Structure 1
Amino acid sequence: MALNGADALLTQPIAYIGASGLTIGAIISAIVVFSTALLAVWLLKKFVRRAQQTMGEERSHAIHIGGQIARYVIVAFGLAAAVSALGVDLSALSLFAGALGVGIGLGLRDIVRNFVGGLVLLFDRSIEVGDFVELEDGTMGEVRSIGPRATAVLTNDDVDMLVPNANLIDGKVTNWTRNRMTRRVHIPFRTALNADKEKVRDAVIEAAKAVPLTLPDAGRKRTQVWLVGYGENALKFELVVWPTLSAVKRPGRTLATYCWAIDDALRQSAIEIPLPQQEIRVRGLFGQEGEAGLDALRPGQGAATDGAGARSSSEG
């Protein structure tokens, strides 16, 4: 009797969608089916992360694309299976689908735009997982994942940023490590005007090549020192160097490392580093110009002048 009562409770329609009756048993079945799909998505996400760590950075983006597509497929099939488990006639949802289309056209426009932008980023490969990018506002970081709504970018300060996919499609983005290739770095420095240019070049190049971040010279990728201009009491140089790919992703640390090496090299070679200088020209002192004004500062001159002035006054 109790089983019959339970069966009746589970199979008794509690609501109707069109001609289809909605039962408690169907709702439970739909929840189980969709929960299973979500569990599969969670397990797939864990598997993809482990595969990315195991397979290395070169295959990271391909694994990420496969994982994202599989997640979308699982969610879509899980949703369709859940609706089917409810016993709902999909033709009865045509009116709802039309209303949903209007909603997408109005309120969900940005969501759909970002979703499509995410698909473009996945297949376009102009920005991949593991790339080091610089956004239009100057923010720099490593791409960690490309999701359906936003791309996760991790800065060098371990700050997670979520950038809408549409912003990456429409805005200006600098990809410093596209195709996993390194980039040339310019390190500016200055010396005194009378410094020996050849000595500066040799000392700085030797110091730069001793830095572990520097790649060996190969073809056009060579460590060089350029004289790029003249400043106030200084020669302006640039160290041009090709660092490792990991160093390109840490621009602040890389700049500090090379500046440290340059400073040590200049000091060890006794090459003067210019300090700010300013020349002051005095046209007059105490109302007098030229030598007369300078005489007023010399010991005894002021007193003599005062005495003479006093005698002249008394005589007058």
Structure 2
Amino acid sequence: MDNIEDLEGFVLFAIGRTPVTLGGVVTGLVIIVAGFLAARIARMAIERLRGRTRHGQAALYIVEKLITYGMVIVAFVIGVTTIGINLSSLAVFAGAVGVGIGLGLQGVVKEFVSGLVLIFDRVLNVGDYVELEDGKRGLVQEIGPRAVRVRTNDNIDLVVPNSKFIEGPVVNWTLHNRGRRIHIPFSVAYGSDREKVREVVLEAARSVPFTQPETDTERTQVWLVGFGESGLNFELLVWPTLEAVKRPAAMHAAYTWAIADALECAGIEVPFPQMDVRLRSLFGHEGDDALTALRLDHPKAATRRGHAPNPITTNDAAEDLARPLPPPDEPVMEREPHSAGSRAP
């Protein structure tokens, strides 16, 4: 008993007029370690609760961060006070070396504050599918005190500093848990029936299992977007499910394959690079006279004055532009991302 009292009364050093004893140091360290362990247990319990429910994921994540950070800070303050260090007495010390420490830790503080902004701003949350400025994409796995951990579809973890999401542009593909419209380009040979192309491609897109049912504002469409060197350039505009959006490469490949099958079954030719050579003169003759001189049969021009025009086909792009823009989004009070995890133009 006397040994314990001697241990507790053994003075190691003094800060100002406050003595620091060995017993106080041991007790303070035990409190700090216990605080860290309690924070870790609390984090594991909340993560287990998040895994069991699909609702309130964002709120539970904020609660987890508040509890764990709060327990660590409180345990640290109590432990330091128990050791015998008066925090107010450190003001002079902080003023003397604070500039040097601040320069060394300003990056850490910057990332920590950026992480708190991300958590409470709720523009980015665990489970969102994001695209970084350098083109890398993945699912947000964790928003930590220093960095955000993003996992790509190739199962590669990217550790991105929190400040990158604050300072630079980041595309959130699944903000507010809404899907997005994607564009799948394809081409057909000149002379193909445009209406038939539209019909077979729409049927193929709707047959893909992860295509969402159509609504008044979210419709599957086929647009003619240009005239290429070898054929007509089209785009399929389709609204896939949210889970499919999180796997853009596989989603794009699936639609492209479905379009290729549909065009092949319908007998619609896919263009290939080619060059047409027009013969203007031969042996002093031009045009039909030149071909007659070679004794070659040649087709007459398909277009003649008075020829009946082709029937008017459906122009999805024009109909889309004729509709008024939807009203702005209502403020979202709470988002609930999927437990597995701006509509991009």
Q: What is residue 93 of structure 1 aligned with on the other side?
A: 90
Q: C-alpha separation between the residues in 2 aligned to 1:129 and 1:273? A: 42
- Tell whether 2:242 aligns with 1:245: yes
Q: Deviations over 1:230-266 (max 9, x none)?
A: 1112111111000000111110010011111111111
Map 1:104-123 → 2, pairs under 5 A: 105-123=102-120
Q: C-alpha separation between the residues in 2 aligned to 1:150 and 1:86? A: 32
Structure 1 spans left out of the alignment, 5+ residues: 283-288, 292-316
Taking structure 1 as reference, are residues 100 and 280 closer, same or farther at Cα in structure 2, changes over 3 Å only? farther
1:235 to 214, 224, 232: 232
SS at match of 1:239: strand
SS at match of 1:107: helix
1:269 to 243, 266, 269: 266
Map 1:1-316 → 2, pairs under 5 A: 3-56=1-54, 59-99=56-96, 101-103=98-100, 105-279=102-276
One-letter amino acid of the counterpart of residue 156, structure 1: N
Q: What is residue 306 of structure 2 aligned with on the other side?
A: none
SS at match of 2:14: strand
Q: C-alpha separation between the residues in 1 aligned to 2:66 and 2:72? A: 10
Deviation, structure 1 residue 62: 1.7
Q: Deviations over 1:86-110 (max 9, x none)?
A: 0222332222232464245422222
Aligned residue pairs, count? 282
Q: Decide whether the 8 Å contact of 1:61 with 1:130 is kept in 2.
A: no
SS at match of 1:51: helix
SS at match of 1:148: coil
One-letter amino acid of the counterpart of residue 182, structure 1: G
One-letter amino acid of the counterpart of residue 119, structure 1: L
Normalised by the length of structure 1, the TM-score is: 0.84
> Quick check: which one's helix share is greater?
1
One-letter amino acid of the counterpart of residue 260, structure 1: W
Q: C-alpha separation between the residues in 2 aligned to 1:60 and 1:118? A: 17
Q: C-alpha separation between the residues in 2 aligned to 1:92 and 1:236? A: 74
Q: Deviations over 1:37-56 (max 9, x none)?
A: 11112112212322222222
Q: C-alpha separation between the residues in 2 aligned to 1:99 and 1:47? A: 42
Q: Percent identity?
A: 45
One-letter amino acid of the counterpart of residue 162, structure 2: N
SS at match of 1:15: strand
Q: C-alpha separation between the residues in 1 aligned to 2:75 and 2:94? A: 18
Comparing both chains, which one has the higher relative contact order based on Cα–Cα distances under 8 Å and sequence gaps of 6 or more? 2
Normalised by the length of structure 2, the TM-score is: 0.77
- Report which stretch shifted further, 242-251 or 19-28: 19-28
Alpha-carbon RMSD across the aligned residues, in angstroms, is: 2.0
Q: Decide whether the 8 Å contact of 1:60 with 1:130 is kept in 2.
A: no
SS at match of 1:108: helix
Runs of 4 or more consecutive aligned structure 1 residues displaced over 3 Å after TM superposition: 278-282
Structure 2 spans left out of the alignment, 5+ residues: 285-345
